[in-house]
């Protein structure tokens, strides 16, 4: 364990930040899973609703630095394409 006050503070901050980032990442994964489940089920309305909920969650994760911006952009693009494919069929 650290003996210096600043090092102890950094440990506390890191623990808080790790918990926050883990929760945010979990919300992102849950949102993506809901979209994919709706797409697999072929439910157009549910897929659109889930996609509209997932998009800001993904963007927020990118903005906070939890996920990389290009990765988020790629995920949104692929989810959007899958939702559109359901709507066309």
Predicted model pTM: 0.86
What is the tally of structural domains in the chain?
1
pLDDT, block means (10 residues), the chain with 89 residues: 93 97 98 97 94 97 96 97 86
How distant, in Å, are the alpha carbons of 6, 10, 19, 68, 81 from that of 39? 49, 43, 30, 25, 11
pLDDT given at position 37: 96
- DSSP-assigned letters across all residues of 57-71: HHHHHHHTTSS-HHH
Report the CATH number that the domain containing residue 20 is assigned in CATH: 1.20.58.110
Beta-carbon neighbour count of residue 58 at 10 Å? 21
């Amino acid at each position: 364990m650290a003996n210096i006050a600043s090092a102890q503070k950094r440990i506390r901050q890191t623990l808080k930040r790790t918990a926050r980032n883990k929760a945010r990442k979990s919300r992102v994964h849950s949102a993506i899973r809901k979209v994919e489940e709706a797409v697999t089920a072929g439910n157009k309305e549910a897929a659109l609703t889930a996609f509209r909920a997932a998009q800001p969650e993904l963007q927020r994760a990118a903005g906070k630095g939890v996920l990389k911006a290009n990765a988020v952009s790629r995920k949104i693009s692929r989810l959007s394409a899958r939702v559109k494919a359901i709507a066309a069929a």
